[in-house]
Amino acid sequence: MNTNLIWLVAMPLIGSAVTAVVVRYKFLDRLITFLTFATTLFVLFLAHVGQSYSWTLKFLGTTLNLTLNVSHLSIFMLYISIAFGTVLAFYSLIDNSRMKGFLLLLVLAANNWIFMSNDMIGFFFAWELMGWASVVSVLGGREKEKSRHAALYYAMMSVAGSYSMLFGIFILWRLTGTFSISANIAYLSSIIGGHPWWVLGIVSLFFMTFMIKSGIFPFHTWVPLAYAYSPDAFTPFLSAAMSKYGVYGMLLFLPLGLLEKGFPTAFGVPWTNYIFLWFGVITAVVGTVLSIFQDDVKKLFAYSSLSNLGYVVAAIALFTPVGITAGIYHAFNHLLFEGALFITLLAVISRSGTSKLSEMGGLWKKMPITFFTFFVGIASAAGIPPFNGFGSKWLVYQAMIKQHLIFATILLFLASTGAFMYLFKAFHSIFLGQLSHDYERVKEVPIVGQIVEAFLMIAMIFFGVQPGYILKPIGAIVKSMGLKPLPVMANGYVAGMFSNVYMPLIGWSLVVSFIFGFILFYVSAEHKNVSQTDNYTAGQIPEDWGLTPETYQFSWNFYQPVEKLFVPFFRIKIDGFFRGIGDWTKATGSAIKEIFVGNAQMYAFFAIVGLIIFVIAGWMA
Amino acid sequence: MIVLLKLIQGIGAGALSISIGLLFVGIGRKITARIHRRYGPPFVQNFIDLFKLLSKKSISHGFTFDLGLIAGFSALLAAVVFLPMGQINIFPHNSSLIMILYLMTMAYLGMAMGVSSSGNPNATVGIARALTLTMGYEVPFAAVIFSVYLFAHTGSLTNIVAAQSGGFMNWNLVKLPFGFVAAEIALQGMLGEAPFDMAIAPAEIASGPMVEMGGKYLGFGMLQHSIGLFLETGIMVDLFLGGGSNVWIFVIKQFELYFLALLVNAIFPRFKIEDGVSFMWKVPLLLGIVQALIVVL
């Protein structure tokens, strides 16, 4: 019995209650949010692997066992999500978007509960709490109408996921009579030999929920809407931490496929995992391609975020030691760089007042710290060594090549180069090029924001150069799943299947060559700085053309030639499919409503039929 | 002591790559001229140009412009030291192919940052084209990487070279012929030679990325091009032509590849950007996949 685990859930709930009272005083609200995050992080230091806490609940004559349990995976997830949340909450002290602290704290409570819960009732309850708190959070975006629509869409998808999970939970409860997650998974693995289709069906119900939460194709449609129109200060948490709940859930259920030795395989992977892997690969490609054509910067990075989750899913679906390591490592890297990128976007949007790429430009002069953090962020996201993000992508490729998955490897490479394209597009359109007259008076974010940005920049470089600090706990997770972990040599090494990379060496090589570069630059002839409009225009005078910095900036239709390549694919509308379901539901609903409202006798008749079915069902059960 | 030794070796490798790269471009100008029935500049012209450019006063568009061009040059220098060049192999245990490729993108990111912070849309159009083309040639090259990794059971260039030792018949050129052709076409795109020179199309977008460069900035661009040429051909030699028993043989093999690229460059017109990409996704990709399937099956 470790009561400290209770505090991990209770502390954010108390903080949430307090902030709900002072919600009208913005700074107080944010301050208490930050302090609660920091305290929760402190409470987390007291938690250790193997601790558990359980209590029983008597409900309608049934005894429910609620259990909290700290495994290697959960403590890793708890650390990264709470640490990132603390950084974000610190930034939010100076933020003026309409994010509500108490909602963020409710999400934090749910976050801790999800990662620790070992019973399905608690897991489901926490999942719902997280879902609804985040849906309400999305409502406070900059554009009211659009964020309402986005929240509704997100809520619908969440509800669909929740029903699916609830259905799965009750089937399992019916079969085993217990809500314990580990007992149910053990049960499933014991029957997988005899009834593979049953197991697949039940597990699919859970996976649908997890795929919706992580935004995996074909359930990715809510992601860009919810990310783009949620309050700017909430989006980093939505992208960095909340997308990991799905990954965590998948990692709970994935070991099933391996347990049955006679299970049919494709490329050395159980065929169920093989199909699941393709969902990940398609997500990576779809996210990348759609991201290339976005003009709203938050939508662009929303697609980027889900594309990276495609990598994570593709890697963990393999369920080989290198695959799991790569997947969890990429999940961590994604949290760090995507979180940092969304925080810099928050800074940029708060200063420029727009999220349209075509309206920005040249901001590096005005916001240097933000600029450098963003630069390191996109270098990480593009997988450039020695920043973080390289090691995990590199391991993902090796995991794919190891299993002889040709097409998956090629498509993931395509997604990676495509990532470079959209990252550069965002980079150029926000920070480079001509500075518009509108932004002449833009200032860098306040000092608190600069501290957070610099901290994240250093973190991205540190975890890139010293990957061992992350790979060691991941090794423990892999071991706890019954696989042989990859060798961890020194802190600087990433050990792969085909070769090793010593990251500090790359760092030093870059440092030395940059010193040479600067020396060569400063010993050669001097230069003088000119104004931004002093450009080559083939002898024409820009004023004669009526050119202003705004019109001399290339940021509209950036990758127009690429669009032609993907025209056939744009005809497929996943969103249309879901809207079709929505319309159908509406039509059916109104038909049913006709029955009920039209005739009282009819109503009574249905009520009686329902009652009879209810009684029969209860009798048979 | 070992650190100092490696440092000196690294500087040597950098100097070698710069001088060989500049020499290659100089000889290349001569060869192209002769194909065009011109006399052409002397083959040391590029060295002369470099000194001239570095000693000329120039204009800058701000700190990111400087930093970007320095990064373009320096990150490639940082990548060169990991390349096994004949008997020169400074870090034999740290020569992962994918690592070198991704480290090179740092240089392209730096270059892209520099030229687009100049504020000239022509430069940015050029970069956008270059990145689009990257998406084209990386895909067949991924198939090639896949084949080589599985064929040699290693991802380290040192070990890939070692696996090819013992004569011409052991080279991956012979063992993986389709992969070699695919990689050759991808290399044409990497080098930015015709028919894949849309990024620097002089007549359409005023030389694209180079439009705002003058003086030492153009000099840095030239240096970057030379080192990039050295690295890209060097990777190909290590992958397919068995490296080299010493560095001069390595360089000769590199030149053979560059010579091939030059001949194609001299006689071909330019692809439209989307046509270039779709070509890359048809012919070389198909060859790469055929090769990968042969290796797997």
A396-417 pLDDT per residue, tens: 998 888 888 888 989 999 999 8
**Tokens (6 digits) for A211:** 């795929």
For residue A155, pLDDT over 70 is answered with: yes
Residues 6+ apart with CB under 8 A from A394: A383, A494, A496, A501, B96, B98, B99, B102
CB-based contact, A421 to chain B, within 8 Å: yes
Would you state the torsion angle of the CA atoms of residues A537, A539, A543, A546, taken in this order, to the nearest 10 degrees? -60
In a mutagenesis test of the B interface, which of A293, A429, A498 is the best target, namely the one with the most B β-carbons within 10 Å? A498
Residue tagged 């079969």 (tokens): A175
User: Looking at the structure, do residues A488 and A599 belong to the same domain, yes or no?
Assistant: no
Q: ipTM score of the complex?
A: 0.93
Q: Would you say residue A46 lies in a domain?
A: no
State how far residue A464 is from chain B, nearest Cα, in angstroms: 13
Question: pLDDT-based confidence at A593, cuts 50/70/90?
Answer: low
For residue A546, pLDDT over 80 is answered with: no
**If you measure CA to CA, which chain A residue comes closest to B220?**
A521
Cis, bond preceding B195 (omega within 30 deg of 0): yes
The secondary element (H helix, E strand) that includes residue A54 is strand A52-59
Contact at CB, B135 and A417, closer than 8 angstroms: yes
Region B122-144 average pLDDT? 88
For residue A596, pLDDT over 60 is answered with: no
Of A109, A19, A1, A110, nearest in space to A55 by CA:
A1
- The DSSP secondary structure of A219-246, one letter per residue, reads STTHHHHHHHHS-TTTHHHIIIIITHHH
- The DSSP secondary structure of A74-86, one letter per residue, reads HHHHHHHHHHHHH
Q: Would you say residue A612 lies in a domain?
A: yes
Cα R_g (chain A), whole angstroms: 26
Residues of chain A found within 8 Å of residue B272, distances taken between Cβ atoms = 561
Q: Residues A248, A114: contact at Cβ < 8 Å?
A: yes
Report the distance separating Cα B270 and Cα B133, nearest Å: 13
Please give the single-letter amino acid code of residue A620: M
Q: Would you say residue A125 lies in a domain?
A: no
Report the distance separating Cα A235 and Cα A345, nearest Å: 10
- Say how many CA atoms lie within 13 Å of A209 toward its Cβ: 24
Q: Residues A378, A420: contact at Cβ < 8 Å?
A: no
Contact at CB, B93 and A564, closer than 8 angstroms: no
Report the distance separating Cα A27 and Cα A291, nearest Å: 35
For residue A260, pLDDT over 70 is answered with: no
Report the distance separating Cα A224 and Cα A339, nearest Å: 16
Residues of chain A found within 8 Å of residue B56, distances taken between Cβ atoms = 525
State how far residue A250 is from chain B, nearest Cα, in angstroms: 28
Q: Residues A107, A171: contact at Cβ < 8 Å?
A: no
Of A302, A306, A332, nearest in space to A235 by CA:
A302
Instruction: Assign 3-state DSSP to chain B and report helix, strand, coil percentages, each to 5.
Output: 75, 0, 25
Residues of chain A found within 8 Å of residue B14, distances taken between Cβ atoms = 513, 516
The last residue of a domain, from among A509, A524, A539: A524
Q: Please tell me the predicted confidence (pLDDT) of residue A376.
A: 93
For residue B19, pLDDT over 70 is answered with: yes
- Which runs of consecutive H residues, i.e. helices, occur in A215-361? 222-229, 235-237, 244-253, 256-259, 271-292, 297-318, 321-352
Output the 3-class SS for B131-165: HHHHHHHHHHHHHHHHHHHHHHCCCEHHHHHHHCC
Q: Which of residues 541-560 of A touch B (CB under 8 A)?
A: 549, 552-554, 558-559
Contact at CB, B146 and A424, closer than 8 angstroms: no
User: Looking at the structure, do residues A600 and A486 belong to the same domain, yes or no?
Assistant: no
- Which runs of consecutive H residues, i.e. helices, occur in A139-239? 144-176, 181-191, 196-214, 222-229, 235-237
Tell me which of B209 and A41 has the higher pLDDT. Answer: A41
Chain segment A196-206, per-residue pLDDT in tens: 788 888 888 88
- The domain in which residue A607 lies consists of 584-620
Nearest CB to A524 within list B54, B143, B154? B54
User: Looking at the structure, do residues A511 and A588 belong to the same domain, yes or no?
Assistant: no
Report the distance separating Cα A12 and Cα A109, nearest Å: 5
User: Looking at the structure, do residues A448 and A301 belong to the same domain, yes or no?
Assistant: yes
Report the distance separating Cα A296 and Cα A355, nearest Å: 6
- Whole-Å CA distances, A169 to A178, A204, A205, A412, A615: 10, 12, 9, 34, 22
Q: Which of residues 313-332 of A touch B (CB under 8 A)?
A: none
Region B162-183 average pLDDT? 86
State how far residue B154 is from chain A, nearest Cα, in angstroms: 4
Tell me which of A593 and A23 has the higher pLDDT. Answer: A23
Region A518-543 average pLDDT? 79
Nearest CB to B62 within list A365, A416, A518? A365
Contact at CB, A428 and B112, closer than 8 angstroms: yes
Residues of chain B found within 8 Å of residue A506, distances taken between Cβ atoms = 78, 82, 99, 103
Q: Residues A494, A501: contact at Cβ < 8 Å?
A: yes
In a mutagenesis test of the B interface, which of A536, A557, A563 is the best target, namely the one with the most B β-carbons within 10 Å? A536
Region A169-174 average pLDDT? 87
Q: What are phi and psi of B254, to 5 degrees?
A: -60, -45
Contact at CB, B54 and A525, closer than 8 angstroms: yes
Where are the domains positioned within chain B? 2-296
pTM for the full model? 0.91
The last residue of a domain, from among A474, A501, A524: A524
Of A277, A305, A278, nearest in space to A291 by CA:
A305
Q: Residues A327, A76: contact at Cβ < 8 Å?
A: no
The last residue of a domain, from among A476, A502, A524: A524
Q: Which of residues 34-73 of A touch B (CB under 8 A)?
A: none
Question: pLDDT-based confidence at A606, cuts 50/70/90?
Answer: low
By mean pLDDT, which of A259-268, A372-381, A425-434 is the weakest?
A259-268
Q: Is A495 helix (H, G, I), strand (E, B) or coil?
A: strand
Residues 6+ apart with CB under 8 A from A391: A329, A333, A385, A464, A467, A471, A494, A501, A503
State how far residue A104 is from chain B, nearest Cα, in angstroms: 36
Give the orientation angle of helix A244-253 with respect to helix A181-191, to 10 degrees: 50
Q: Would you say residue A426 lies in a domain?
A: yes
Question: pLDDT-based confidence at A598, cuts 50/70/90?
Answer: low
Mean pLDDT of chain A, nearest integer? 85
Q: Is A56 helix (H, G, I), strand (E, B) or coil?
A: strand
Q: Which of residues 340-369 of A touch B (CB under 8 A)?
A: 362, 364-365
Q: Please tell me the predicted confidence (pLDDT) of residue A140.
A: 82
Contact at CB, A565 and B277, closer than 8 angstroms: yes
Contact at CB, B99 and A420, closer than 8 angstroms: no
Chain segment B218-255, per-residue pLDDT in tens: 899 899 999 999 999 999 998 888 878 888 889 999 99
Residues of chain B found within 8 Å of residue A384, distances taken between Cβ atoms = 102-103, 105-106, 109
Residue tagged 């990276």 (tokens): A308
Q: pLDDT exceeding 90 applies to what percent of chain B?
A: 21
Residues 6+ apart with CB under 8 A from A408: A277, A278, A281, A314, A400
- Angle A359-A236-A293 from CA coordinates, rounded to 5°: 40
Report the distance separating Cα A210 and Cα B30, nearest Å: 62
Q: Residues B141, B287: contact at Cβ < 8 Å?
A: no
Q: Please tell me the predicted confidence (pLDDT) of residue A258.
A: 55
- Whole-Å CA distances, A68 to A15, A53, A54: 21, 5, 6
Largest CA distance in chain B: 60
Of B87, B118, B278, nearest in space to B210 by CA:
B118
Q: Residues B134, B127: contact at Cβ < 8 Å?
A: no
Residues of chain B found within 8 Å of residue A528, distances taken between Cβ atoms = 57, 59-60
Contact at CB, B113 and A427, closer than 8 angstroms: yes
Report the distance separating Cα B172 and Cα B239, nearest Å: 7
By mean pLDDT, which of A73-77, A282-286, B172-176 is the weakest?
B172-176
Q: Residues A574, A221: contact at Cβ < 8 Å?
A: yes
**Tokens (6 digits) for A123:** 């897991």
User: Looking at the structure, do residues A447 and A363 belong to the same domain, yes or no?
Assistant: yes
Contact at CB, A536 and B212, closer than 8 angstroms: yes
In a mutagenesis test of the B interface, which of A366, A407, A417, A493 is the best target, namely the one with the most B β-carbons within 10 Å? A417
User: Looking at the structure, do residues A513 and A595 belong to the same domain, yes or no?
Assistant: no
Residues of chain A found within 8 Å of residue B8, distances taken between Cβ atoms = none
Q: Please tell me the predicted confidence (pLDDT) of residue A450.
A: 92
Give the number of other Cβ atoms within 10 Å of residue B255's Cβ.
18
Contact at CB, B7 and A512, closer than 8 angstroms: yes
**If you measure CA to CA, which chain B residue comes closest to A368?**
B64
Report the distance separating Cα A161 and Cα A310, nearest Å: 19
Region A578-598 average pLDDT? 71
Query: How many domains in chain A?
Result: 2
Give the number of other Cβ atoms within 10 Å of residue B57's Cβ.
12
Would you state the torsion angle of the CA atoms of residues A528, A533, A534, A535, taken in this order, to the nearest 10 degrees? 120
Residues of chain A found within 8 Å of residue B274, distances taken between Cβ atoms = 561-562, 564-565
User: Looking at the structure, do residues A513 and A608 belong to the same domain, yes or no?
Assistant: no
Contact at CB, A364 and B73, closer than 8 angstroms: no
Q: Residues A94, A446: contact at Cβ < 8 Å?
A: yes
Contact at CB, B215 and A525, closer than 8 angstroms: yes
State how far residue A413 is from chain B, nearest Cα, in angstroms: 6
**Tokens (6 digits) for A226:** 């919810």
Q: Please tell me the predicted confidence (pLDDT) of residue A438.
A: 82
The secondary element (H helix, E strand) that includes residue A64 is strand A62-69
Contact at CB, B70 and A521, closer than 8 angstroms: yes
Report the distance separating Cα A471 and Cα A468, nearest Å: 5
Q: Would you say residue A420 lies in a domain?
A: yes
Q: Please tell me the predicted confidence (pLDDT) of residue A182.
A: 85
- Angle A609-A614-A619 from CA coordinates, rounded to 5°: 125
**Tokens (6 digits) for A177:** 């009579």
Q: Please tell me the predicted confidence (pLDDT) of residue B91.
A: 85
Contact at CB, B94 and A505, closer than 8 angstroms: yes
Q: Which of residues 423-442 of A touch B (CB under 8 A)?
A: 424-425, 427-428, 431-434
- Whole-Å CA distances, A273 to A17, A192, A323, A396, B123: 43, 14, 12, 15, 45
Q: Residues A81, A109: contact at Cβ < 8 Å?
A: no
Please give the single-letter amino acid code of residue B69: L
Contact at CB, A424 and B112, closer than 8 angstroms: yes
User: Looking at the structure, do residues A456 and A591 belong to the same domain, yes or no?
Assistant: no
Q: Please tell me the predicted confidence (pLDDT) of residue A614.
A: 65
Q: What are phi and psi of A381, to 5 degrees?
A: -65, -30
Chain segment B26-54, per-residue pLDDT in tens: 999 999 899 888 998 998 888 999 999 89
Q: Which of residues 506-525 of A touch B (CB under 8 A)?
A: 506, 509-510, 512-514, 516-518, 520-521, 524-525
State how far residue A227 is from chain B, nearest Cα, in angstroms: 26
